[in-house]
Amino acid sequence: MYIIPAIDILDGKVVRLTEGDYNQKTVYDVSIAEMIETYRSNGTEFIHIIDLNGAKGDFSNQKALFEVIKKTDMRVQYGGGIRTIKQVTDLLDAGIHRVIVGTQAITNPDFLQELSKEVGKKYDYANRIVIAIDVLDEVIKYSGWMESSPIKLMDYVDKCLQLGFFRFLCTDINKDGKLGGAAVELYKKLLEHSPFIKLIASGGVSSMKDIEELDKYDIRSVVVGKAIYENRITIDQIKEWNLKQMTSL
């Protein structure tokens, strides 16, 4: 299991939200470019970037954000405001390592089917699509976690798998930004239901002990944000952990 550091952007600033609430944000006195360079210079090769404005349909961050992303050689997992098939394929063609799709996949019944046909034309593109599942008490949320979907969690996973998508980013909103531990029980349920999914955990990680607990299960990677900014987990610890994961392959 790999640790992927997170950078969340709101109004051009690096932030972390609590329980997905845009009114409960912590703003950090560091630029996007500085955070990326900090990770890169310390041996991190993979970062997770979310445009929180984009998640609400506000694309004011995107131009500046992509100018920064284009200048890095790091692998980027990107999400926030992906609304069209063309956006997905353009991002993949431009070198974004993974593209996260969330709201559109839930609200547009045909989106995933159309995306499946499109990405099937190019080698490995399906592996580079990440399906976001943001969950509050096992209810799927979307549009910046402000709306609820009637689709049952496991039914949605099954639908995605049937269309050829198998990499999922699952965030327990109850845990997110609270540094109270990861949603282990939720991830266990998902893996028991579909053992072959490639699961990315997100939310609640507060220490390396939480990382070690998640590593007991077949979770492929974990996104860590606030614990890094609050100095609960150091970049050196992330580097050491990820290097061990590589050598054990």
DSSP 8-class letter at 46 = E
CA 190 – CA 184 distance, rounded (Å): 10
Is 134 labeled as catalytic in the residue annotation?
yes
Check: CB of residue 177 under 8 Å from CB of residue 18: yes
User: What mean pLDDT do residues 139-143 have?
Assistant: 85
Instruction: Provide φ and ψ at 169, rounded to 5°.
Output: -105, 110
Domain-wise residue ranges, the chain: 1-246
- Indicate the SS3 state at residue 97: coil
- Tokens for 125? 């593109």
Residue 1 has pLDDT above 70, yes or no: yes
**pLDDT tens digits, residue range 72-87?**
889 999 998 898 999 9
- Annotated catalytic residue within 8, 51, 176, 210: 8
Q: In this prediction, what percent of the chain has a pLDDT beyond 70?
A: 98
- Annotated catalytic residue within 51, 134, 172, 176: 134
Check: CB of residue 20 under 8 Å from CB of residue 173: yes
| Mean pLDDT, the chain, whole residue set | 89
Task: For the domain made up of 1-246, give the CATH fold.
Answer: TIM Barrel (3.20.20)
Q: Could you write out the DSSP letters of every residue in 195-219?
A: TTSEEEEES---SHHHHHHHTTS--
